[in-house]
Structure 1
């Protein structure tokens, strides 16, 4: 059995790509106020939500159950509108590697899309492939897109 893999989904959004990206790049703490299945998040270590040394603790609902994990921003590529988040601890402890990669894409027709990639490596063969994450990320993307399209302010965005 394969222990490592990638899951990828791409979703069209109505929000301008730059605005969607900036929510994650500069206002990550607002995700809990917009995404229905994200119940709470807090700065666990560090002083800045977006510094690579900072650790955030997330509480969320996936597959009808409450889960928790910690997260760190591993890399931000402003030019390509790409952010890599490293998840660990809590319900992610069964994975050696668990990364969420957000890419906001500008399409040739002027529209935008969000590509989520989950890059993972399981600790052993008994650990399930994280398929539930694809539904969680898809629903969260729709929640954020709907919120931003309505023009509701998110700390200055």
Structure 2
């Protein structure tokens, strides 16, 4: 059984791609106020929520009904491709994964009705007994729907 893998899920939203990207790339600190499954987020190291590699954020959220924590940095923000890749580490993530990269790319639908978001998780498990992070796919799908509802009201 492989220790490394990649999972992805595509979600369609009614909000424009630029609006969703802006929330996740420039207003990340606000996501904790939008998603029920995110309990808290705070700037742990640094003074900027949105710089690549410079600051560390500490997250508390619910996966599979359990409260979990991790730290996060931003590895990539690509303004042209509406792409962001986060690196999750420490806390509960490190109990199961050596590497955990969470990314998304969002693009407007061709018929001008919303956007499509492809979430992906690239991971390396600490051993073969650890399950692939399937629960994160469900988590991301549900959080995306909550963010979309918020953006449609804003």
Q: State the TM-score bracket (shorter-chain normalisation).
A: over 0.9
Matched, 1:56 2:49: no
**1:99: which partner in 2?**
101
1:75 is matched with: 76
Match of 1:148 in 2: 151
TM-score by length of 2: 0.95
Aligned to 1:17: 17
Give, in whole Å, the separation in 2 of the partners of 1:15 and 1:133.
Answer: 22
The alignment partner of 1:15 has SS state of: coil
In structure 2, distance between residues paired with 1:117 and 1:145: 18
CA RMSD of aligned residues (A): 0.8
Q: Which 5+ residue runs of structure 1 have no aligned equivalent? A: 152-157
Instruction: Report the number of matched residues.
Output: 151
Matches within 5 A, 1:22-33: 22-33=22-33
CA–CA separation in structure 1 for the residues paired with 2:71 and 2:152:
29
Gaps spanning 5+ residues in structure 2: where?
none
Cα deviation, residue 102, structure 1: 1.1
Q: Per-residue displacement from partner, 1:85-131 (whole Å, max 9, x unpaired)?
A: 00001111121210011111122222311110001111111111101
Aligned counterpart in structure 2 of residue 127 of structure 1, from 122, 126, 130 = 130
CA distance in 2, matches of 1:26, 1:53: 14
Between the aligned partners of 2:109 and 2:67, the Cα distance in structure 1 is: 36
Partner of 1:138: 141
Task: After TM superposition, list the pairs within 5 Å mapping 1:108-127 onto structure 2.
Answer: 108-111=110-113, 112-127=115-130
